[in-house]
Amino acid sequence: MTTTATKAPAPPVDPAKKKVQKKHAWTARGLLLPAFIFLIVLTQIPFLVTIGFSMMNWNLLYPAQRGFTGLDNYKTALSSGALWPSIVATVLITAFSVVLSLLLGLLFAILLDRKLPGRAIARTLMITPFLIMPAAASLIWKYSMFDTNIGMLNWAFAQVGLPKVSWSTEHPMATVVIVLTWIFTPFMMLILLAGLQGQSKETLEAAQVDGAGAWRTFTWITLPHLRMYIEIGTLLGSVIILQVFDPIAILTKGTGGTKTLAYLLYERAFIGLNVGEAAAYGVVTVLLTIIVATIALKTTFKVFMAGGSR
């Protein structure tokens, strides 16, 4: 980074220069404005409207009864027993998927950081699951891997004499987590691989000279170095998986403890036609995301800013 360039011109207070600087500031703002306005109109304002919706009694089947109800929708959400299991499902699915894909991603990153015949091809194959649209990935897993009759998992089980498993009905949570882990392992691997490649060779060699074994080198040098990459992976992975919808809709339709907040909202709004209650779930989703993101962001934001501001 060229830190010297970050210094602003020294401030001898010359009114003409000041004027120019002011003009520059307005140019910069003008350049930012289109993106800014666009995002406010399409994300911030709709969110405020969602909060408004969530305080209304609004069922599309009974449009005449539409009106303000304060926090009734939230009370209904709590008392109907739908909200809490849904939060649990969302958090569990996110936590399991993030941790598993992080571990697998670390394993693959380490394996593919080594010298390996055909390494470039191996890496290319590895990133593919993340590129495949989640809807297609879920369908492929559902019908060609998990299926009771023609799924390859059960075929493999049969080969070693294990009984058939009806994955999506017997283990709905595992089904969703397996697919999400499969999708997000490449994501974690890419981030961690970048971390491994950024390790200084000298430090590693010094450790070797000092007689540190592979395990010690890994736990004492590599892992601390990877910390920021693990944090980035965790933060981004959690925030994306918290919103997950496609695998749920395709694999389990929210049955068996997999009804995430996104799916619950979809069900209440577009099948139950209860806009008010659905909006409340939308607001809860935001709160949950903020909680999870703040926990992760507290540690990671510094890292994001490390790119430096000029």
Partner 1 sequence: MRISVKNSIINVLTWVLVLLFFFPVFWMFLNGFKPESVASSIHPKLFFTPTLDGYQLAMDRGMAAYMQNSFMASITATVGCVLLAIPAAYALSLRKVRKVESTLSFFISTRFMPVAAVVLPLYMILKNLGGLDNIWVLAIVYMSINLAITVWMMRSFFLEVPFEIVEAARVDGAGLFREIVRVVLPIVLPGVAAAALICFIFSWNEYFLATLLTSNVARTTPPFLGSFVDGRGQFLAVLSAAATLAVLPVIAAGWIAQKQLVRGLSMGAVK
**Does residue 220 bind partner 1 (CB under 8 A)?**
no
Check: CB of residue 130 under 8 Å from CB of residue 104. no
Q: Which two tokens stand for residue 281?
A: 């779930």
Binders of partner 1 in range 125-164 (CB under 8 A): 125-137, 139-145, 149-150, 152, 155
Residue 124 C-beta: closest distance to partner 1, Å:
6
**Does residue 224 bind partner 1 (CB under 8 A)?**
no
Binders of partner 1 in range 40-59 (CB under 8 A): 42-47, 49-50, 53
**Does residue 286 bind partner 1 (CB under 8 A)?**
yes
Check: CB of residue 113 under 8 Å from CB of residue 201. no
Residues with Cβ within 8 Å of 98's Cβ and at least 6 positions away in sequence, in order, are 184, 234, 237, 238, 241
Residues with Cβ within 8 Å of 300's Cβ and at least 6 positions away in sequence, in order, are 228, 231, 232, 235
3-state secondary structure of 10: coil
How far apart CA 177 and CA 175 sit, in angstroms, is 6
DSSP percent split of the chain into helix, strand, coil, nearest 5 = 75, 0, 20
Q: Site map for partner 1, 184-213, x if CB under 8 A?
A: -x-x--xx-xxx--x---------------
Residue 72 C-beta: closest distance to partner 1, Å:
17
Q: Which of 124, 200, 203, 208 binds partner 1 (CB under 8 A)?
A: 124
**Does residue 27 bind partner 1 (CB under 8 A)?**
yes
Binders of partner 1 in range 231-250 (CB under 8 A): 232, 236, 239, 242-243, 245-246, 249-250
Residue 70 C-beta: closest distance to partner 1, Å:
18
Binders of partner 1 in range 73-112 (CB under 8 A): 107-108, 111-112
Q: Which two tokens stand for residue 66?
A: 């539409």
Q: How many CA atoms lie within 13 A of 85 on its CB side?
A: 13
> Which is nearer to partner 1, 68 or 304 (by Cβ)?
304
**Does residue 10 bind partner 1 (CB under 8 A)?**
no
